[in-house]
Chains A and B, each alone.
Chain A
Amino acid sequence: VPLVKRELMDGAYALLTFAHPEVARDARPGQFVMIKAGTSPEPPLRRPFSILSTDGADSFTIFLKAVGAGTRALVAMAPGELAPCLGPLGRPFTRPADGGEALMVAGGYGIAPFLMLAGELQRAGGRGRVFYGGRTASDLQLRDAFGPGTPLAAATEDGSLGYKGRVTGALEAYLDSAAPGVASPTLLACGPDPMLHAVARIAEARGLPCQVSLDPWMGCGVGTCLGCVVPIQRSDEPKPKYRCACTEGPVFDARGVVWPGETASAARRGAGAVA
């Protein structure tokens, strides 16, 4: 598919917009595309990217940081150049159904799925709040992208913007201070694994529902290479099962995730259905 627009940002971040009516029409928050710059064998594989936004008809946009060969090649594309693209793929985030607040916790480029989710929440009359963390202020390139209906709390490890410390610290401070509502909030997280793990722990300690978007290396994006599997144990299963992050995720109920060195909280508690 052709690149139609490229916007380079500070900190090696970029917005890339591609023409792809099917993705533009069908994408749901948390779904992704597999995409690669051109058809050269180097680097060999496509990369998965959360879909940041779509215009609903013709094109979609991804938000990425140039960190390796694949992302650097994408960011170096010029408008008009072609990128093989497959999507939309994977299972999206699920909006809280009971009117509880959706607390969207993002680390760096993990902010991507939440722009669309925040928009959906707005239209559906739901409540959303974003916690957006990074090392420094330039990691929070999309901090002004959310509308006034979605409060956003910034967190930087160096204190250059917002809360000084990890984004999970800002989340806990909010949870401690928030007046108990009728419906409990739902945590939705996308970012590096240690952040996801920390958010899952907070959710477990406070008895809150939590969905995490996992980001392992992917080969095919459609469930055939079995390269991106993650161990998931639902509460009705005797042992963890390898599930493809591309087709059964990337969004999983945090209670089923087997974090490194741990067992799934669903297994520890042994009760409660895990979606």
Chain B
Amino acid sequence: VNLAVELAGIRFKNPLLAASGTFGYGVEYEDILDLSTIGGIVSKGLYLEPRDGCPTPRIVETPSGLLNAIGLQGIGVSAFVRDVLPRLARHDTRVLVNVCGDTVEEYAEVARIAGDAAGVAGLEINISCPNVKRGGMAFGGDPKMTAEVVSAVRKATRLPVIPKLSPNVADIGLFARVCEDSGADAISCVNTLLGLVVDVEARRPRLGFGTGGLSGPAIRPIAVRMTWQASRAVKVPVIGIGGIGTASDALEFLIAGARAVQIGTANFVDPGVYERILQGLREYLTRHSLTDIAQVVGTLQYPGAPGAAS
């Protein structure tokens, strides 16, 4: 069976990508698993300069989920290009750079630097981090700013441009269309949901930043719904993200319309997740007499929709 997918002009050997912020810069996992088993790796979010991130505590466990406010601590795009990319080049996988900025100009500059580096297959635009005061969700929650950032990055690079959407909006389809109209080649859907956990003894937020972003199996039904809505709103491919830990989880997103998926929080729980999901996808295709993973994409039989089983 064929698990390879082509998306935004990038060929991935399988539809599983490691989500930004949950896989470091990839090289941290070199000794733990074979990075060549992964379709692609999306880097931790990168600005022009290194970042300190949020005050501690930064993570708290929630029912079937994880609330985090890391705040895009990172080494900066130049250090990534200089120190990390050459190491990643040893592995047969695609590397996407997650582009951040405090300003539209910074997004474009980071995109230009990452886009000029050898070994980068595409750029994911972070307009959805909920844990920074500027950029991130502040841009991705506003259609006008979304258009500005995506257009500016589009002009700064010839690489595929993939905005990562925030789920903290009422109409995800609207933002998907704005991205497509601004030149996006694909859409990542979705980042974390804004949440708050309270320490009732101290009557303070559990996290140092206050609010945080919720991820993990807890958000999966919301993410699947948004992937379904986004994929119906645009022609460019959608990458589904949110609480995937098993082949069945991944298939939910693919059937709902995603061309590929990203694994996030599950990386923390079990780095062996890729091997397990790939095996499960192969078994599913065989069991359904299918030969290509593309045959399941967007096949959701939604009640009342044309072509749905009555």
A positions within 8 Å CB-CB of B: 36, 39, 41-46, 84, 86, 216-217, 219-231, 241-242
A42 to B63, CA, bound (A): 7
Enumerate 24 A-B pairs (CB-CB under 8 Å) in ascending A order: A41-B216, A43-B61, A44-B64, A44-B269, A45-B269, A46-B268, A84-B272, A86-B32, A86-B271, A220-B268, A223-B24, A224-B22, A224-B23, A224-B29, A224-B44, A225-B70, A225-B268, A226-B53, A226-B58, A226-B70, A228-B59, A229-B73, A231-B56, A242-B73
A274 to B70, CA, bound (A): 27
Interface of B is mostly: loop
B199 interface residue, CB < 8 Å from A? no
Chain A residues contacting B63 (CB-CB under 8 Å) are 42
Closest to B243 in A: A41
> In the bound complex, do residue B59 and residue A219 qualify as a contact, i.e. CB atoms below 8 Å apart?
yes
> In the bound complex, do residue B268 and residue A219 qualify as a contact, i.e. CB atoms below 8 Å apart?
yes
A44 to B22, CA, bound (A): 14
The A-B contact count (CB < 8 A) is 86
Chain A residues contacting B52 (CB-CB under 8 Å) are 241-242
> In the bound complex, do residue B28 and residue A41 qualify as a contact, i.e. CB atoms below 8 Å apart?
no
A138 to B79, CA, bound (A): 51
- Given A223-B24, A224-B24: A41 and B245 interface contact (C-beta under 8 Å): yes
Closest to A45 in B: B61
Chain A residues contacting B29 (CB-CB under 8 Å) are 222, 224
Nearest 4 A/B pairs, CB to CB: A224-B24, A227-B59, A220-B268, A41-B217
> In the bound complex, do residue B59 and residue A217 qualify as a contact, i.e. CB atoms below 8 Å apart?
yes
B positions within 8 Å CB-CB of A: 21-24, 28-29, 32, 44, 52-53, 56-66, 68, 70, 73, 216-217, 245, 265, 267-272
Most chain B CB within 10 A, of A39, A44, A84, is at A44
> In the bound complex, do residue B58 and residue A44 qualify as a contact, i.e. CB atoms below 8 Å apart?
no
Chain B residues contacting A222 (CB-CB under 8 Å) are 24, 28-29, 32, 271
Chain A residues contacting B268 (CB-CB under 8 Å) are 45-46, 219-221, 224-225
> In the bound complex, do residue B65 and residue A44 qualify as a contact, i.e. CB atoms below 8 Å apart?
yes
- Given A222-B29, A242-B52: A217 and B60 interface contact (C-beta under 8 Å): yes
Closest to A219 in B: B268
> In the bound complex, do residue A227 and residue B70 qualify as a contact, i.e. CB atoms below 8 Å apart?
yes
Chain B residues contacting A44 (CB-CB under 8 Å) are 61-62, 64-66, 216-217, 265, 269
- Given A222-B28, A224-B28: A41 and B64 interface contact (C-beta under 8 Å): yes
A46 to B270, CA, bound (A): 9
> In the bound complex, do residue B267 and residue A220 qualify as a contact, i.e. CB atoms below 8 Å apart?
yes
> In the bound complex, do residue B28 and residue A223 qualify as a contact, i.e. CB atoms below 8 Å apart?
yes
A44 to B68, CA, bound (A): 13
Closest to A240 in B: B52
Chain A residues contacting B59 (CB-CB under 8 Å) are 217, 219, 225, 227-228
Chain A residues contacting B269 (CB-CB under 8 Å) are 36, 41, 44-46, 84
> In the bound complex, do residue B56 and residue A230 qualify as a contact, i.e. CB atoms below 8 Å apart?
yes
> In the bound complex, do residue A226 and residue B73 qualify as a contact, i.e. CB atoms below 8 Å apart?
yes
Chain B residues contacting A231 (CB-CB under 8 Å) are 56
Closest to A241 in B: B52
A42 to B58, CA, bound (A): 20
Least CB distance, B130 to chain A, in whole angstroms = 15
Least CB distance, A219 to chain B, in whole angstroms = 5
Chain A residues contacting B62 (CB-CB under 8 Å) are 44
A220 to B58, CA, bound (A): 13
Chain B residues contacting A221 (CB-CB under 8 Å) are 268
A36 to B271, CA, bound (A): 13
A16 to B137, CA, bound (A): 44
Most chain A CB within 10 A, of B21, B23, B267, B268, is at B268
> In the bound complex, do residue A227 and residue B58 qualify as a contact, i.e. CB atoms below 8 Å apart?
yes
> In the bound complex, do residue B66 and residue A45 qualify as a contact, i.e. CB atoms below 8 Å apart?
yes
